[in-house]
Structures are given as C-alpha cells and as structure tokens.
C-alpha cells in the first residue's frame, strides 16, 4: 500500500520560496533557506544574524533601512 506524504491543502509546498516584498526581510529568509547547503557549524551564526536583522526591521531601527514609528503627535496645552 503506497502512501503519499501529507501536503497542505492550499498547495503551499509547491509555491516556492516565501517572499514578503520587504527587501531586508527577504534577504534574511533567503539566507535561512540556504542552510541545507551550509555546514551545520554555520547554522547558529546564520540564525543569530537572522534574528538581529529581523529585530531591527521590526523595531524600525534606522541601521536596518526602515523608518522608525512616528512620535506621538498628541497636543497638550498649558492652561497658564
């Protein structure tokens, strides 16, 4: 009796690499996708770099090329 491996119903396994449209995030994803081709000793370094790059992207760190969140624009008036 032959059984085929479980595949996602939406065909996600055949859709190719995941891309976000955000260049810096896509670069991180590409580096992680290439881990199979790299020696196991390099995996930790790739994950640490990926984590740092993704944190900078989420935090809006200017070093990551992403603008930071706008400052609060609430206006307060001094009743003086």
% residues pLDDT > 70 (the chain):
56
Helix (H) or strand (E) holding 9: none
8 domain residue, yes or no: no
Q: Which structural domain range is residue 50 located in?
A: 18-64
Distance CA 15, CA 19 (A): 11
Selected residue with higher pLDDT from 26 and 64:
26
Angle at 10 between CA 29 and CA 6, to 5 degrees: 90
Tell me the pLDDT tens digit for each residue of 24-37. 899 999 999 999 99
Number of domains the chain is built from: 1
Round to whole Å and give the CA distance between 47 and 50: 5
Domain membership of residue 26 (yes or no) is yes
Residue 35 resides in a domain: yes
């Amino acid at each position: 009796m032959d059984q085929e491996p479980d595949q996602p119903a939406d065909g996600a396994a055949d859709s190719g690499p995941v891309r976000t449209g955000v260049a810096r995030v896509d670069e991180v994803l590409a580096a992680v996708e290439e881990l199979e081709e790299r020696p196991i000793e390099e995996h930790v370094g790739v994950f640490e770099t990926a984590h740092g790059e993704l944190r900078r992207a989420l935090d809006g760190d200017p070093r990551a090329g992403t603008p930071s969140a706008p400052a609060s624009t609430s206006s307060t008036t001094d009743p003086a």
